[in-house]
Amino acid sequence: MKYIKHDNESINEYKIRLFSNKELYNLKSQEIADLINKESGKTQGESSYRKWYRAYAEGKSDAQKEFVSGDKILKEYELKRVEFEKEKIRFFDQRTAYTKEIRNDARKDELFDIIERTIKEIKTPLQYKNNEIIASDNDLMISLCDIHYGINIDNHWNKYNSDILIDRLKKYLDKIFSVQKLHKSENCYVSANGDLISGSIHPQVQIANKENVIEQIMGVSEVIAWFLNELSGGFNNVYFNVVAGNHSRLNTKDDSLKGERLDDLIPWYIKARLQAKSNIMVLDNTIDNTMSLVNIRGKNYLNAHGDYDFSKSMIGNITMMIDEKPYAICTGHLHHNSTNNIQGIKLIMAGTLMGVDDYCITKRIFGNPSQMICVCNENGVDCFYDFEFKE
């Protein structure tokens, strides 16, 4: 029968089963007591068993209530603990971002201090000379892109270091002055569109660098100051403009802020170095350190390095960002001279003063060092001079 004790059932379990299923088994309390006495060999009355079961049932109910209450408390505690952990992470993220910002500012301040001290220590002043230039209908726009100062190259196709850079710039000056003489150009606009230093953003570049980044900034700034000073003797005015390139980042691409580029130190150095020279103007970037507008004879020329603006779609994007259609967009970055026209915008890309490095060899890219000279009048670019440095 269903109310007979099971072989694996204890007496207490038997009592609990019988009283729990009293109505189901259609048993009375006395009948349950008789069944339990028979199995246990005891002679207790039904009242004793009934009270025992009632105490058990009440204790079980209380225990279940306490368990549910305790479980609820544990869940609430866990939710609060998780929320606390979230707040702690938010706090640490904010503190990390704040610390990074302070560190970046401190690092920039330190760079300015170092460069300022270096300028003061320079003993040899640049020799200034002025030539009166007759007013004409055109100016020259010349590139000074991708110098990569600080890298030391010696391979089958190319040799390059800071001394060779000076030799190439002297040849460049000769060509500029010959073009100026031919066209009787009045002013000169120098577009230094990024990667003026080699930097230290890639392991290959770090190995190839001869000078560290501080020395690179000071070295290239001194070279550019000399170059601008030489130009100033052949033009009424020389205008100099710099935009940031990718090689002047302080960290890797993912870890760098957009505005954190060492190129920004170069105009500051040039202003300090050439402050006594009245016909050399360093133009400030009024839009952003990665792009700037320069007006030449009534036409707007947009300068950018080119790492953000290498596709046709990006050309449309950059014109929408500045909310106007420039006459021309001038870039560097890809290390070769080229001209094009997209949607009525002239594209002028200048090469590099560096030449073939290890990266070019691995990519099987060859080309002579080159820069671009443009003769500009009120109608825009009248002609281009694709100038290559051939040893």
If asked whether residues 313 and 374 sit together in one domain, one would say: yes
Domain boundary among 97, 121, 145: 121
pLDDT tens digit sequence for 141-159: 999 999 999 889 999 988 9
Name the residue with tokens 């002025």.
130
- Please state, in angstroms and rounded to a whole number, the distance separating the CA atoms of residues 311 and 360: 21
Domain boundary among 84, 102, 121: 121
- Neighbour tally for 159: CB within 10 Å: 14
Length of the chain: 391
Q: Which domain holds residue 370?
A: 131-388
Q: What is the mean pLDDT of residues 219-243?
A: 94
Residue 256 identity: S
Taking a C-beta distance cutoff of 8 angstroms, is the pair 303, 291 a contact?
yes
Phi/psi at 51 (5° precision): -65, -40
If asked whether residues 178 and 238 sit together in one domain, one would say: yes
pLDDT tens digit sequence for 74-83: 677 677 777 7
If asked whether residues 98 and 201 sit together in one domain, one would say: no
If asked whether residues 227 and 335 sit together in one domain, one would say: yes
Domain boundary among 121, 149, 177: 121
If asked whether residues 9 and 96 sit together in one domain, one would say: yes
Q: What is the mean pLDDT of residues 268-273?
A: 86
Question: Tokens for 138?
Answer: 């055109």
Q: What pLDDT does residue 170 have? A: 96
Beta-carbon contacts of residue 78 (< 8 Å; ≥ 6 apart): none
DSSP-derived 3-state class of residue 280:
strand
Nearest alpha carbon to residue 35 among 22, 378, 321: 22
Q: Would you say residue 201 has pLDDT above 50?
A: no
If asked whether residues 201 and 114 sit together in one domain, one would say: no
Residue 33 identity: A
Within a domain: residue 126? no
- Please state, in angstroms and rounded to a whole number, the distance separating the CA atoms of residues 24 and 18: 9
Question: Tokens for 82?
Answer: 């998780």
Of 355 and 174, more confident: 174
Taking a C-beta distance cutoff of 8 angstroms, is the pair 66, 32 a contact?
no
How many angstroms from the chain centroid is the CA of residue 268?
22
Phi/psi at 23 (5° precision): -70, -40
Residue 263 banded pLDDT, cuts 50, 70, 90: confident
The domain total for the chain is: 2
- Please state, in angstroms and rounded to a whole number, the distance separating the CA atoms of residues 221 and 253: 24
Q: What pLDDT does residue 204 have? A: 47
Beta strands in 2-143 (DSSP E): 139-143
Going from the C-alpha of 53 to that of each of 4, 13, 59, the distances in angstroms are 18, 11, 10
Within a domain: residue 78? yes
Within a domain: residue 278? yes
Taking a C-beta distance cutoff of 8 angstroms, is the pair 372, 384 a contact?
yes
For the chain, give the mean pLDDT.
80
Within a domain: residue 178? yes
Q: What pLDDT does residue 207 have? A: 47
If asked whether residues 265 and 301 sit together in one domain, one would say: yes
Q: What pLDDT does residue 57 have? A: 72
- Neighbour tally for 377: CB within 10 Å: 18
Q: What pLDDT does residue 26 have? A: 73
DSSP-derived 3-state class of residue 102:
helix
If asked whether residues 176 and 116 sit together in one domain, one would say: no
pLDDT tens digit sequence for 163-189: 999 999 999 999 999 999 999 999 999
pLDDT tens digit sequence for 288-341: 878 899 999 999 999 998 877 656 667 778 888 888 899 999 999 888 899 999
If asked whether residues 83 and 190 sit together in one domain, one would say: no
If asked whether residues 275 and 375 sit together in one domain, one would say: yes
State the SS3 of 122-155: CCCCCCCCCCCCCCCCCEEEEECCCCCECECEEC
Pairing of strands 153-154, 159-160: antiparallel
H or E element, residue 362: helix 358-362
Name the residue with tokens 């330190």.
110
Taking a C-beta distance cutoff of 8 angstroms, is the pair 159, 208 a contact?
no
Q: In what order do the strands lie in the sheet with 370-377?
A: 280-282, 238-243, 188-193, 139-143, 370-377, 380-388
If asked whether residues 163 and 299 sit together in one domain, one would say: yes
If asked whether residues 141 and 231 sit together in one domain, one would say: yes
Taking a C-beta distance cutoff of 8 angstroms, is the pair 216, 209 a contact?
yes
Angle at 20 between CA 18 and CA 22, to 5 degrees: 60
Q: State in Å, rounded, how far the first CA of the chain is from the last one.
A: 112
- Please state, in angstroms and rounded to a whole number, the distance separating the CA atoms of residues 336 and 331: 10
CATH number of the structural domain spanning residue 354: 3.60.21.10
DSSP string, 215-249: HHHHHHHHHHHHHHHHHHTTSS-EEEEEE--GGGB
pTM assigned to the model:
0.67
Q: Would you say residue 45 has pLDDT above 70?
A: yes
**High-pLDDT (> 90) share of the chain, %:** 34
Going from the C-alpha of 299 to that of each of 295, 346, 376, the distances in angstroms are 5, 11, 9
